[in-house]
Amino acid sequence: MPVQLTAAAQEGYKATTRPVTQWLIRAGVRPNTITTIGALVVILSAVAFGLGAIRWGAGLLLLSGVIDTLDGDVARATGQTTKFGAFYDSTLDRVGDGATFIGIAAFFLTAAEIRFRVVAAILCMIAVLASLLVSYARARAEGLGLDCKVGLVQRAERIILIGLPTLFEGAGPGGLILATIVALLALGSVVTVVQRFLYVYQITGRGAT
């Protein structure tokens, strides 16, 4: 049932964004241009988080997530998929992940109302390291010819879990809502790294060379 619901949600999302994709194709916008715009939006989101404009940061983060799906849709629809495009997109995604948690950490360290600011900032550090390891584990496995998309938390989940609650509720009293989200993402990302490690270990003959 969860797989069916996920597939249905994905199809509904594709149907919603399809007119935008078609407009971009008609306008002749190249996939790498869309990727660049998405990266700039997520950096603006990080700046907003750092300045304490939490709802603006959340909205821009969610917008960047939408833009991040459009480049691939345009590339596939127009036959413009390239190895450099995939590399470029993946690299800027990592920039976005790092920028987001840096912005949130800056908010925790500078906002007057934050409780447990040092703990919250350390959670951001764990979250950004774990999120990069999640991506690295998949990339390294794919470099070995393995498909490794397993795991609890991937980039889409990070964007949604940060963006949606804070868009409506802000950081919460003393930053508690945002800190809780970061803590959950840090834990979920660590679990995902372990899941991917065990998955690769199992399908490669339990460590046999």
Q: Does 20 reside within a domain?
A: yes
Counting the structural domains of the chain, the total is: 1
Burial 42-54 (b: 16+ CB within 10 A, else e): bbbbbbbbbebbb
* Mean pLDDT along residues 102-116: 93
Q: What is the mean pLDDT of the chain?
A: 88
* Mean pLDDT along residues 67-75: 88
Q: Does 208 reside within a domain?
A: no
What kind and span of H or E run contains 150?
Answer: none
Q: Please give the angle made by the CA atoms of 130, 149 and 203, to the nearest 5 degrees.
A: 105
Q: Are 117 and 109 in contact (CB under 8 A)?
A: yes
Domain holding 110: CATH number? 1.20.120.1760
Rounded Cα distance between 123 and 104, Å, is: 10
Q: Are 34 and 24 in contact (CB under 8 A)?
A: yes
Q: Does 98 reside within a domain?
A: yes
Q: Does 175 reside within a domain?
A: yes
Domain that holds residue 97: 2-203
What is the structure's pLDDT at 142?
87
Q: Does 209 reside within a domain?
A: no
**The whole model's pTM is what?**
0.88
**Quick check: helix, strand or coil at residue 172?**
coil
pLDDT greater than 90 at residue 164 = yes
